[in-house]
A and B are shown apart, each in its own frame.
Chain A
Amino acid sequence: MNGALLRVEGLGVTLSGRAVLKDVSLSFSSRHLVALVGPNGAGKTTLLRALAGLVQSTGTVEVGGDPLSSLPLRERARRFGYLPQGHVVHWPLQVRDIVTLGRYPRGATDPARLSPEDEIAVTRAMQATDITTLAARRVTELSGGERSRVALARVLAVEAPILLADEPTASLDPRFQIDVMKNLRSTADGGVLVIVVTHDLALAARFADTILVLSNGRLVAQGTPEQALSEAVMADVFKVTAYRADYQRERVIVPWTGV
């Protein structure tokens, strides 16, 4: 793919002597929703962290033609929005202040003094995640679903060309899971490359353009949901069969029973 936004070649990560990722190569352009799936311990989180430059890796990662290793920390932070698992907030901060932290890479270090541009980005991110009414609330007073939307708003406020989200739907009820995926879908449609880690194959198959399947640190399948989650992959990697159907003109792939 020429002019790819993100190009990865021969990426490897070794953590405390163990090769967690081996020879991963991929290439994506913007306006794309990629779901990264695989069993527990396959290396999904490590791959996201390596892409964001949060962990030492071998091989090359190029963002918009620039090698990741050549970019200063601040610049990396402008190109990758990173949403980690768990949405930890250590102090009972106000929702708006948390969302504003997304503007940190753009130099907005004080939530009380934002440029008009930062104000707009923060407001937009809060509208997209429907948390405008929560702005002055403390994050500790929120429900799990609300917290996850705040976390999502924070990473949307970065307005980075690439958004990496690690299990943003974990521990959410079905409605919020769908909300989050719809949000990521429209973010991708707005011109962003979104890479999302998930264990929910049905959500991945429904919303993603491309699915990456990781197993034991290797990329074992890549393609449209139907290609990547083939009978063989489901059996070999996930040890399940899948129910497949079409519903309302969308593809449904649901893990069904263990093999």
Chain B
Amino acid sequence: MVSQSATKPSYTITVGLVVLVVLLALVSLGTGPVRLSPVTVIDALFGGGTGAQQTIIREIRLPRAILASAIGAVLGLSGAALQGLLRNPLASPSLFGAPQSAAFGAVLMIALGWADVRSYALPVAGIAMAFVSVFVLLSIAGRNAGLLLLILAGLAISSLAGAATSLVMNLSPNPFANLEIAFWLLGSLEDRSFRHVMLALPFIAAGAILLWSQRSAFRALSLGEETAQSLGIDVTRVRLLVITGVALGVGGAVAVSGTIGFIGLVAPHLMRPVVGYDPARLLLPSALTGAALLTAADIAVRIIPSNTDIKVGVLTSIIGVPFFLYLIVRERRALAGGVA
């Protein structure tokens, strides 16, 4: 059938991306102060090699690699889901202030002394604030959200979350805690343990499952909310589930990694032409691309020579913001048209 033409390449792409993510993960496991070859890495993973190699691979680098792919994947998935929900290529968690809000929730917990950086209170607070931010944003934007409205509201919310975080740090009596928070906010996957994986993964998985379950609704939403509703889709419910899914994924991610921006914007954009612009088929490739991007970025911060370590969140923003500018230029006409 004609319709199958679009399915085959997207299957090939999925397999290709999975291979890419695995390869990058292997490189990630081999990268660091002690460089190890992929063969050594695989060997150590399955119990071979020296005791030191095993410790490095399995206890130091494996959690980091798992977190990079899981967080990258859920960010890519969240971006694709938000874009599908809002039918808008500029929608993404970081532009909507979701990570910033989640960070505020987490920082508040730390500053109030209610939680240390390894407690479940952190992701829960992060998820709650991420939910509030996306919910408020979608309420402001209304049913037929135009580009301009979404971006302005997102700007306002991320600024507010940033300001609230600053206020917390401002009022915090402990300068050392502040320094720690400030670095954590930059976004990093360094020195993460399996404890962190356990902390984030359940939330990330729950969020991903929620978003994935809504995929066919995104295709119907291509025809607008009213038509989607006339096709039997409960649009209000889809919205709520997507907001919850994004909040769970982003909140869980931020709680262990700090804010890592723009993966959710870049990943769906790269994959959209590949899947024939179908917002439902976009989800899986976007997630895999997100995983590949963040893993690659996390390798890059370990390779780039510098006096001090570069935070991966800083790197994704440095690459992501120019990309965002490029998208704005491309969407210039729609933006100039106001609330289209």
A80 engages B223 (CB within 8 Å): no
Segment at the B interface, from A27-35, A36-44, A100-108, A247-255: A100-108
Segment at the B interface, from A85-93, A181-189, A205-213, A228-236: A85-93
For B223, the chain A residues whose CB sits under 8 A away are 88-90, 98, 101, 154
A119 engages B229 (CB within 8 Å): no
Measured in the bound complex, the distance between the Cα atoms of B1 and A114 in whole Å is 10
For A98, the chain B residues whose CB sits under 8 A away are 222-223
For B221, the chain A residues whose CB sits under 8 A away are 90
Segment at the B interface, from A3-11, A17-25, A70-78, A171-179: A70-78
What's the least CB distance linking B50 to chain A, in Å? 49
Measured in the bound complex, the distance between the Cα atoms of B201 and A182 in whole Å is 57
Measured in the bound complex, the distance between the Cα atoms of B223 and A84 in whole Å is 10
For B229, the chain A residues whose CB sits under 8 A away are 54, 73
* Chain B residues close to A by CB (< 8 Å): 1-7, 87-88, 216, 219-224, 226-227, 229-234, 276-280
A105 engages B278 (CB within 8 Å): no
Known: A54-B226, A93-B276. A76 touches B5 (CB 8 A): no
Q: Secondary structure of the A side of the interface?
A: mixed
Measured in the bound complex, the distance between the Cα atoms of B276 and A111 in whole Å is 13
- Tell me, yes or no, whether A61 is within 8 Å of chain B by CB: no
For B222, the chain A residues whose CB sits under 8 A away are 89-91, 93, 98, 101
B7 engages A112 (CB within 8 Å): yes
- Tell me, yes or no, whether A130 is within 8 Å of chain B by CB: no
What's the least CB distance linking B260 to chain A, in Å? 27
Known: A98-B223, A101-B231, A110-B216. A91 touches B87 (CB 8 A): yes
B3 engages A96 (CB within 8 Å): yes
Shortest beta-carbon contacts, A-B, top 3: A77-B232, A90-B87, A82-B230
Among B216, B220, B227, B277, contact of A82 (Cβ-Cβ < 8 Å): B227
Known: A82-B230, A154-B223. 14 other contacts (CB 8 A): A73-B234, A75-B232, A77-B231, A84-B224, A84-B230, A89-B222, A90-B88, A90-B221, A93-B277, A102-B231, A105-B232, A110-B280, A111-B3, A136-B5
Measured in the bound complex, the distance between the Cα atoms of B38 and A170 in whole Å is 63
A94 engages B6 (CB within 8 Å): yes
For B7, the chain A residues whose CB sits under 8 A away are 112
- Tell me, yes or no, whether A69 is within 8 Å of chain B by CB: no
Measured in the bound complex, the distance between the Cα atoms of B2 and A135 in whole Å is 7
* Chain A residues close to B by CB (< 8 Å): 49, 52, 54, 73-78, 80-82, 84, 88-94, 96-98, 100-102, 104-105, 109-112, 114, 119, 135-136, 138, 154, 158
Measured in the bound complex, the distance between the Cα atoms of B222 and A91 in whole Å is 6
Which residue on A lies nearest to B272, using beta carbons? A91
For A84, the chain B residues whose CB sits under 8 A away are 224, 226-227, 230
For B4, the chain A residues whose CB sits under 8 A away are 112
Which residue on A lies nearest to B10, using beta carbons? A112
For A92, the chain B residues whose CB sits under 8 A away are 277
Measured in the bound complex, the distance between the Cα atoms of B3 and A129 in whole Å is 18
For A109, the chain B residues whose CB sits under 8 A away are 216, 219
Which residue on B lies nearest to A106, using beta carbons? B232
A91 engages B278 (CB within 8 Å): yes
Q: 7 A-B contacts, Cβ less than 8 Å apart?
A: A74-B232, A77-B230, A97-B3, A97-B6, A101-B219, A114-B3, A138-B277
Measured in the bound complex, the distance between the Cα atoms of B228 and A105 in whole Å is 10
Measured in the bound complex, the distance between the Cα atoms of B3 and A114 in whole Å is 10
For A89, the chain B residues whose CB sits under 8 A away are 222-223
Measured in the bound complex, the distance between the Cα atoms of B230 and A158 in whole Å is 11
Measured in the bound complex, the distance between the Cα atoms of B227 and A52 in whole Å is 10
Measured in the bound complex, the distance between the Cα atoms of B92 and A52 in whole Å is 33
For A101, the chain B residues whose CB sits under 8 A away are 219-220, 222-223, 231
For B216, the chain A residues whose CB sits under 8 A away are 104, 109-110
For A90, the chain B residues whose CB sits under 8 A away are 87-88, 221-224
Known: A82-B230, A84-B227, A105-B231. A91 touches B6 (CB 8 A): no
Measured in the bound complex, the distance between the Cα atoms of B227 and A154 in whole Å is 11
For B224, the chain A residues whose CB sits under 8 A away are 84, 88, 90
For A49, the chain B residues whose CB sits under 8 A away are 226
For A88, the chain B residues whose CB sits under 8 A away are 223-224, 227
Which residue on A lies nearest to B230, using beta carbons? A82
Which residue on B lies nearest to A90, using beta carbons? B87
Which of B219, B220, B276, B278 is packed against the most chain A CB atoms within 10 Å?
Answer: B219
For B87, the chain A residues whose CB sits under 8 A away are 90-91
A112 engages B231 (CB within 8 Å): no
B3 engages A100 (CB within 8 Å): yes
